Amino acid sequence: MNTLTRRIYEVLSSSQLNDKRVKEGLPPANIVLLRGASIHTELPKLKDYTGLSGAAVSATALIKGVCKSLGMEVVTPPGATGGIDTDYMAKAEAAAKLLEDHDLVFLHIKATDAASHDGKVSEKVKAIEMIDRSIGRVLDRYGSELVVLFTGDHATPVELREHSGDPVPLMLYVPTNIIPDNVGDFNERQARKGSLKITGLNIIDLLLNYSNRATKYGA
């Protein structure tokens, strides 16, 4: 990785375009950021340990790679990006389409994280509002028959502009056979009063249970 990074720097630093940028008083674009490098490990397939056929809608390379490794179909609709300029409705329509022939669809939207890293409060508010509309677009197609779980992978406070270790809120909607708690709003403060206190590893079990797909075991 270090060797590749040095070679990229050498090639880009000798670029005529970068010579022009330097002469114009602009910083040279002379590095390609390589992150998340590791050794590939074959992951168990989602279908094998859950019985679910899975798909994902995402425009983020890392997410797409993990989902493909899990054996999920991955779709990136036109206009979808990993930033605040993404086409939310295109992602929602793609998710709704995939639900026609998949048991589980993961709809990934990174815009709130991108806005937080840049400290853009208004853009984060807009992203949250558009996520609400995206979920609504999917529910418009299927009514209340879906089990919906909504959460994030980490907190990114706008004030901090970086990831933090705060617990993330999680919302589970089940059409029938669930006793709701008393949380009336979905935000970090209200979620702390809720009944779901779980880790990420518990999420798939929740989905299997409340969709009546969990495998029984024991006496």
Span 11-53, pLDDT tens digits = 999 999 999 999 999 999 999 988 878 888 899 999 999 999 9
Span 64-75, pLDDT tens digits = 999 999 999 999
Domains and CATH numbers, the chain: 1-37 (no CATH), 41-210 (3.40.720.10)
At residue 219, the pLDDT reads 62
Q: What is the DSSP string of 34-88?
A: --S-----PPPPHHHHH---EEEE---HHHHHHHHHTT-EEE--TT--SSTT--H
Residues shown for the chain: 219
